[in-house]
Amino acid sequence: MTDMTLDFSDQVVVVTGGTRGIGRAITEAFAATGANVVPTSRTDADVTEAVEAVQEQGGESLAIPTDVSDKKAVKNLFVQVQDKFGRIDTVVNNAGINPMGALGRPEAIDVDEFDRTINVNLRGAFACARGAGSALQASGGSLINIASVGGVVGIPRQHPYVATKHGLVGLTKSLALDWAPDVRVNAVAPGYVTTDLTDGIRENEDLYQHLLDQTPMDRFADPDEIAAPVVFLASEMASYITGECLVVDGGWITE
Ligand code: NAD
């Protein structure tokens, strides 16, 4: 019978961008289930603080600041995690950006902003999948990519972001095919979530109200409401789900 508990004791979870916002909620949700969690992002201070939060919940961790757009740093991250724990069970590709310079009508966006967004959101996710691939196959683990509603439908004036998130949903499907039945690969596509990334939106009253009007749940999600489905997808309860993209958007893109 399928294990209906959410017990990740002794398991090892790596969360990119796991120090803030949605990633931080994912880090703490896995730690609450007994997992050893390695939350990583670019700066020492952020990583140290998130590692301490995992340790306070009783899990083991490691502080390895890693820019996912740096392929050598990514390789080193997974080597170090494997060396310390001898296994990796779940990787969450959460690190993502939507820079100001990448917002606007297509004619106004510098092509370099496209590269910058791709390097983190898509190339970075592939580098992590590649770096963790052998360990995940050995453990029969799971990879979860944090996409976006912008990975499922178009959003005006967010071209690089939407392109990378559609790419991430595609990568989810192709990895799922190559790694089945050993590793399950899924994506979660949030709608708007209350984090630093959406600060600017919430400060613009008209835009904020417009987005709430489009959202049947009439509010942005709390990061915990994205973390919960991520933990579910990594769990035994999702043992037959792979290659899927789970939209968690308060009903926004429901037809
Ligand atoms: P955030 O800006 O609050 O946090 C992002 C985290 O990623 C931070 O820890 C940051 O340090 C880290 N990060 C950024 N660039 C990095 C890099 N190059 N290498 C390593 N770490 C890096 O963002 P968030 O709102 O929590 O978003 C997390 C993910 O969820 C992103 O992939 C984002 O696209 C996606 N998402 C967010 C929303 C939303 O409304 N907030 C909606 C849909 C999808």
Helix 44-56 with 21-32: angle, nearest 10 deg: 30
Our mutation pick for probing the ligand 1 site, out of 15, 19, 22, counting the most ligand atoms within 8 A of Cβ, is 22
pLDDT band at residue 37, thresholds of 50, 70 and 90? very high
Q: How far apart are CA 185 and CA 178, in angstroms?
A: 10
Q: Whose CA is nearest to atom 9 of ligand 1?
A: 17
Helices (H), 143-198: 159-179
Residue 96 to residue 124: CA distance in whole angstroms: 9
Please name the residue whose Cα sits nearest to atom 44 of ligand 1.
148
Checking if the pLDDT of 158 tops 80, the result is yes
Residue 12 phi, psi dihedral angles, 5° rounding: -120, 125
| CA nearest to 14, candidates 124, 121, 88, 125 | 88
17: left (phi over 0), alpha (psi -120 to 50) or beta: left
- pLDDT of 4 reads 83
Contacts of 61 (CB under 8 A, 6+ apart): 36, 37, 38, 39, 51, 54, 55
Mean pLDDT of the region 175-193: 98
Q: What was the pLDDT predicted at 156? A: 94
Pick the closest to residue 13 from 1, 32, 3, 5 (CA basis).
Answer: 32
Structure-token pair, residue 204: 């613009």
H or E, element range at 111? helix 111-118
Does the pLDDT at position 5 exceed 90?
no
Question: Nearest C-alpha to atom 41 of ligand 1 is from which residue?
Answer: 193
- The CA 181 to ligand 1 mean position distance, Å, reads 29
The reported pLDDT for the residue numbered 206 is: 93
Q: What value does the mean pLDDT take over residues 147-170?
A: 97
State the catalytic residues: 161
- pLDDT recorded at residue 254: 85
Task: For residue 163, count other CB atoms closer than 10 A to its CB.
Answer: 19
Position 52 pLDDT exceeds 90: yes
Give, using CA atoms, the residue closest to atom 36 of ligand 1.
148
Q: Determine the atom of ligand 1 nearest the C-alpha atom of 22.
A: 26
pLDDT for 2:
83
Q: Are strands 36-40 and 184-190 parallel, antiparallel or unpaired?
A: unpaired
For range 146-155, the mean pLDDT:
98
Closest atom, ligand 1, to C-alpha of 121: 32
ipTM above 0.90, yes or no: yes
Residues with CB under 6 A from ligand 1: 16-17, 19-23, 41-42, 46, 67-69, 94-97, 120, 146, 148, 190, 192-193, 195-198
Among 1-15, 41-55, 131-145, 155-169, whose mean pLDDT is lowest? 1-15
Which pLDDT score is estimated for 255?
60
pLDDT tens, 90-142? 999 999 999 999 999 999 999 999 999 999 999 999 999 999 999 999 999 99
Residues 92, 17 contacting (CB under 8 angstroms): no
pLDDT (mean) for 206-216: 94
Q: Determine whether 88 is exposed, middle or buried from the number of CB atoms within 10 Å of its CB (0-12, 13-18, 19+).
A: buried
Question: Percentage of residues in the chain with pLDDT exceeding 90?
Answer: 95
Amino acid identity for residue 70 in this structure:
D
